[in-house]
Amino acid sequence: MATQLFDKETTIELRKKHIGPSCKVFFTKDPIKIIRGQGQFLYDEKGERYLDCINNVAHVGHCHPHVVQAAIKQMELLNTNSRFLHDNLVQYAQRLTATLPEKLSICYFVNSGSEANDLALRLARHHTGHQDIITLDNAYHGHVTSLIDVSPYKFHQLGVGAKKDFIHVASAPDVYRGKFREDHPDPASAYADEVKEIIEQTQRKGRQIAAFIAESLQSCGGQVLPPPGYFQKVAQHVRGAGGVFIADEVQVGFGRVGKHFWAFQLQGEDFMPDIITMGKPIGNGHPMSCVVTTKDIAESFLNSGMEYFNTFGGNPVSCAIGLAVLDVIENQALQKHAAQVGDYLMALLNELKEKHPLIGDIRGTGLFVGVDMVKDRLKRTPATAEAQFVIYRLKEEHILLSADGPHRNVLKFKPPMCFSREDAKFVVDKIDTILSVIEKAADPDRETHQETPEIGGCKRKDPSLPNEDDEENVRGGGRRHVGPGEEATHRHKAAKKRLRT
Amino acid sequence: MATQLFDKETTIELRKKHIGPSCKVFFTKDPIKIIRGQGQFLYDEKGERYLDCINNVAHVGHCHPHVVQAAIKQMELLNTNSRFLHDNLVQYAQRLTATLPEKLSICYFVNSGSEANDLALRLARHHTGHQDIITLDNAYHGHVTSLIDVSPYKFHQLGVGAKKDFIHVASAPDVYRGKFREDHPDPASAYADEVKEIIEQTQRKGRQIAAFIAESLQSCGGQVLPPPGYFQKVAQHVRGAGGVFIADEVQVGFGRVGKHFWAFQLQGEDFMPDIITMGKPIGNGHPMSCVVTTKDIAESFLNSGMEYFNTFGGNPVSCAIGLAVLDVIENQALQKHAAQVGDYLMALLNELKEKHPLIGDIRGTGLFVGVDMVKDRLKRTPATAEAQFVIYRLKEEHILLSADGPHRNVLKFKPPMCFSREDAKFVVDKIDTILSVIEKAADPDRETHQETPEIGGCKRKDPSLPNEDDEENVRGGGRRHVGPGEEATHRHKAAKKRLRT
């Protein structure tokens, strides 16, 4: 059993003293101290077990022994930079590209999703000679300067005028809450036509598009699945304007979506991005990442005359770990497992939807699932406070889930891929109970008593809502977004205020 | 004994097939395949040993057992993100900040020197509300978009017009080759006054300085040691204009300079940067990095409303490794060792300088040492081809050294910190022999024969010069720098051509 060096209070104090205050913990008012992980479970300093429904980084399960052993073996032997020849680098590149369309054959190894997306933008700009980027609303692509520029979720927080001239924002292709919904005859074309219009407007201003960048499934946008065919149509418009298509698979790659190894493949076999970026799950928590592109784009980058070196990228230890992660996905058939457990989870959640008017939409694929909570199914009014309350209550039940999307009302499942049917049943049952309590409390004919939570008009003692949960939620926390987000923030603040009284 | 999966030719072919061609290997024509590392030694696929004089990343020695054991122990237990409380994070922050002036107390953990420098720029811009950055000529600060902007060594390669309006380049404070040299009565003030002028010019254009960024010792600039007092004076000017001082210690921190733990401390006790960035040696090869700043700057960043999350940054494994590296530096007294071996190396090299007119200048501190090779001591004409030849010949002797600086004529020592007196003697003796051969060959009265290298007018068979060596050298390779660099490139190309005939 692991022991702790400091008691929890000391850890919190030292954190306050030495860690940037912009770096938030989960559940600010009562953060969790985790000292051990195994599979889909995390253990706190008291040995108490939490079911982890959110860590898509610990892809094949926390501390998977095959991955750890591969790391140990290589760390004991050699860990140096990629200016020396090494078999791990080329073997990993070979195995990774074997999962992709043949033309996506050239790899650049880096250390994080942010480094990957930044390099993707550099590749696109060198290849096209253009500067402008089209991104989707609510998108998040990373924390370095160039990526905040293409992340409306981040730059909206900086207020009006934060969008750079060379950035163009297209509507998120969200068929539940977006401009064109499930009742539209062809939402894929409608959303793609908007990108076409943006390109034309941009060109009329004498500007040129270098790239369209999108997550293959929008994660912080609230588990948004673009309608199939959307990427093909967008790619046609973008390539027609001399630009390239960047698929950001940092959150959703490596078999998570079940049906395919890569989420962009959900769009159909006739779609291939020009550049794909990877991250989080690639090393099961080890800092590594990759950009894969075509020979043509790689040649253009070479011809720029600027060489590329990344001190840690593609080192033998990172590659050994990457190889081991691929082994586990294959040997444990985790992609198929994600498809099966994901289907089961979706079925359970759809049953819940029948029962609870607070659930407006269930969407997802594999182990990437969203539950869109609404106050009113017709108006689809986001039930932000209610979603936050669910997360809070689940934490008390030792289940880690997050709420996300521009309104922070979408319960978001992205667990380690070893997440089981039993786990799915366990968490859905708990959500069922919590929703029943909220709905009962919201019913004017309800019996009131001290223990009833004040959410949507109900009361609860010492609530201490989590005001962040994962990378995306945090962004929701402090945003100054004008538009629906603003509304959501106000609503959220009002809900928090209610909960504190 | 480690074995290889592919034979060397297959490794090379797979690399050509799958790795971005902009990512170069050492010694392109005859690259080295390394499969094992220990201390200051690397071993190729035949078990042949190379003395490593260049890997400042493997700071406490390749595969140091204490570091590997710390990694193993933590990898088996937990590796997750910093939204959970963990003792390793706060313990490491506590120990790291204990090496710094008291006011530098707030840490942000990231994955690479590039992520660190990008975040430093973000911190500076949020804190000051200004946008413009002053950087030094020949500087390299990283490979992401925002850092290419502040790296003249990189953006000069893109030709005229590549410098952005918000970037201002000050002369490198190089007292051997720069504007103000060792014969100047006060080069520190003279170079700092130039920064002051830049600030004033910038302000006249209605622009405002966010930061001055500099490596504490310029590495790719050719092992340049700024004259003591320069940073203090620059900081005064920059702070007077509302900007902050960023010290980039990515290459030179963690005791390498011998006298101090941080290279900026060489400037004097009265100097403290506002932001310090770390990288390469911090995790002995593990991808990790840190930015440390003051409470005030951290508060400004918080007040921007944008939270900061880095998926892998500050994870328990990275922090365990960071702690183990600090342990080894302390327990093996590596800082003191670097001072002693460095002094000895400098003494040996100074003896060599007495003997060989090809050596123009020896400069350095601790295990960060440069040998500036010249064709003519009076004119200080860079002996680029000769330096490249030394590197090539040393490789044949199984010694890995690099040549750097804008003219690629500075032999650069930055070995693992366990580099010994014997190692120093061994490599200096080899350089002695090689320089004698070159000098003898260059002498018009020499006996010519087939085996004599054609450098500076001599001949050599099948030379296959390395055209890159480490991060900085590579940049030298393809540059289109107008100015002294241009000249150097021509000279280098001419030298290569001569060598090929």
Indicate which CATH number applies to the domain containing B227.
Answer: 3.40.640.10
- Residue-wise pLDDT for B403-432, tens only, equals 999 999 999 999 999 999 999 999 999 999
Name the domain boundary from A310, A331, A352: A331
Which tens digit of pLDDT belongs to each residue from B379-403? 999 999 999 999 999 999 999 999 9
Tell me chain B's radius of gyration from C-alpha atoms: 23
Q: How many angstroms separate the most distant Cα atoms in chain A?
A: 73
The verdict on B83 touching A (C-beta cutoff 8 Å) is yes
Structural contact between residues B415 and B53, judged by C-beta atoms closer than 8 angstroms: yes
Which is nearest to A144 in space by CA: A277, A12, A317?
A277
Flag whether B118 is in a domain: yes
pLDDT for residue A483: 30
Is B5 inside a domain boundary?
Answer: no
- Provide the domain count of chain B: 2
Show the domain range for A227.
65-331
Helices (H) and strands (E) in chain A — how many of each? 15, 16
Cα distance between residue A290 and residue B501, in whole Å: 40
Q: Which residues contact B292 (CB under 8 A, 6 or more apart)?
A: B96, B97, B100, B104, B105, B106, B107, B108, B275, B276, B278
Residues A153 and A265 in one domain: yes
Residues B73 and B178 in one domain: yes
Whether B151 maps to a domain, the answer reads yes
My answer on whether A392 and A472 are in the same domain is yes
Helix or strand (DSSP H, E) at B207: none
Q: Are the Cβ atoms of B106 and A18 closer than 8 angstroms?
A: yes
Q: Which residues of B touch A12 (CB under 8 A)?
A: 85
In chain A, whose CA is at the least distance from the CA of B310?
A143
B293 DSSP β-pair partners: B106, B275
List, in order, residues 6 or more apart from B99 with CB less than 8 Å away.
B261, B262
Q: Could you give the angle at the alpha carbon of A315 between the alpha carbons of B411 and A254, nearest 5°?
A: 155
Answer yes or no: do A477 and B307 touch at CB < 8 A: yes
Same domain, B382 and B494: yes
Q: Angle at CA B249, nearest 5°, toward B248 and B250?
A: 95
Please tell me whether residues A259 and A271 are part of one structural domain: yes
Structure confidence at residue B73 (pLDDT)? 98
**pLDDT in tens for each of the 501 residues of chain B?**
467 899 999 999 999 999 999 999 999 999 999 999 999 999 999 999 999 999 999 999 999 999 999 999 999 999 999 999 999 999 999 999 999 999 999 999 999 999 999 999 999 999 999 999 999 999 999 999 999 999 998 998 888 788 999 999 999 999 999 999 999 999 999 999 999 999 999 999 999 999 999 999 999 999 999 999 999 999 999 999 999 999 999 999 999 999 999 999 999 999 999 999 999 999 999 999 999 999 999 999 999 989 999 999 999 999 999 999 999 999 999 999 999 999 999 999 999 999 999 999 999 999 999 999 999 999 999 999 999 999 999 999 999 999 999 999 999 999 999 999 999 999 999 999 999 999 998 875 644 443 444 454 333 333 333 333 334 333 333 332 223 233 333 333 433 333 333
- Shortest Cα–Cα distance, A337 to chain B (Å): 23
DSSP bridge pairs for A382: A374
Please state, for a pLDDT cut of 90, what percent of chain A lies above it: 84
Up-side HSE of residue A312: CA atoms within 13 Å toward CB? 29
CA-closest candidate to residue A386, choices A375, A377, A398, A397: A375
Instruction: Give the domain-ending residue among B289, B312, B331.
Output: B331
Distance CA A355, CA A435 (A): 10
The CA–CA distances, whole Å, from A378 to A9, A176, A359, A407, B271 equal: 46, 11, 11, 17, 64
Instruction: Tell me if chain B has a CB within 8 Å of the CB of A29.
Output: no
Helices B484-500 and B384-396 cross at an angle (nearest 10°) of: 50
Place of tokens 């090539």: B392
Interface check for A161 against chain B (CB to CB < 8 A): the answer is no
Task: Look at residue B1 and tell me if it is in a domain.
Answer: no
Report the chain A residue with the minimal C-alpha distance to residue B81. A285
The 3-state DSSP class for residue A381 equals strand
Separation CA A233–CA B137 (nearest Å)? 46
- Do B116 and B179 belong together in one domain? yes
User: Nearest C-alpha of chain A: how many angstroms from B147?
Assistant: 10
Residue A17: pLDDT band with limits 50, 70, 90: very high
Q: Let me know if residue A2 belongs to a domain.
A: no
In a domain, B3, yes or no: no
Q: Name every chain A residue with its beta carbon within 8 A of the beta carbon of B7.
A: none
CB B20 within 8 A of CB A107: yes
Question: Do B109 and B256 lie in a common domain?
Answer: yes
Task: Confirm or reject contact between A482 and chain B (CB < 8 A).
Answer: no
With beta carbons under 8 A apart, name residues in chain B contacting A83. 24-26, 468-470
Q: Is residue A364 part of a domain?
A: yes
* 8 Å CB contact between B290 and B107: yes
Q: Which amino acid type is present at position A256? A: R
DSSP string, A248-303: E-TTTTTTTTSSSSSGGGGG-TT---SEEE--GGGGTTSS-EEEEE-HHHHHHHHH
Claim to verify: residue B420 and residue B463 sit in the same structural domain: yes
Subunit contact B23:A79, Cβ cutoff 8 A = no
Tokens read off for B209:
């300085």
Residues A153 and A124 sit within 8 Å (Cβ to Cβ): no
Hey, what are B335's tokens? 């800082």
Q: Which amino acid is residue A156, in one-letter code?
A: H
The rounded distance, in Å, linking the Cα atoms of A145 and A172 is 22
User: End of a domain among B331, B358, B392?
Assistant: B331
- Rounded to the nearest angstrom, the gap between the alpha carbon of residue B50 and the centroid of all alpha carbons in its chain is 21
Q: Do A145 and B122 touch (CB under 8 A)?
A: yes
Residue B86 near residue B444 (C-beta atoms within 8 A): no
User: Same structural domain for residues B345 and B320?
Assistant: no
DSSP 8-state assignment for residue B280: G
| Minimum distance, in Å, between the CA of residue A489 and any CA atom of chain B | 13
Are A266 and A374 in the same domain? no
Q: φ and ψ at B227, to 5 degrees?
A: -60, 135
**A361 in the same domain as A304:** no
Closest CB from B34, B119, B471 relative to A80: B34
Minimal C-alpha gap between A223 and chain B (Å): 19
In angstroms, the CA A162 to CA A153 distance is 11
Name beta bridge partners: B33: A85
Tokens read off for A263: 């989420």
Q: Is residue B297 part of a domain?
A: yes
Token pair in block for residue B211 = 């930061």
From residue B221, alpha-carbon distances to A273, A443, B57, B157 in Å are 39, 71, 18, 15
Could you tell me the end-to-end alpha-carbon distance of chain B, in angstroms, rounded to an integer? 40
Helix locations, A33-170, DSSP H: 65-77, 87-97, 113-128, 145-149, 152-155
CA distances from B342 to A131, A320, B413, B418, B425 (A): 47, 35, 10, 11, 11
Residues B450, B361 within the same domain: yes
pLDDT digits (tens, 9 = 90+) for A150-178: 999 899 888 878 899 999 999 999 999 99
* Whether A260 contacts A254, CB under 8 Å: no
Partner-chain contact B63 A77, CB within 8 Å:
yes
Measure B419 CA to nearest chain A CA, in Å. Answer: 17
CATH number of the domain where residue A373 is located: 3.90.1150.10
Contact B349, B326 (CB under 8 A): no
Task: Pick A83's closest partner by Cβ from B25, B113, B286.
Answer: B25
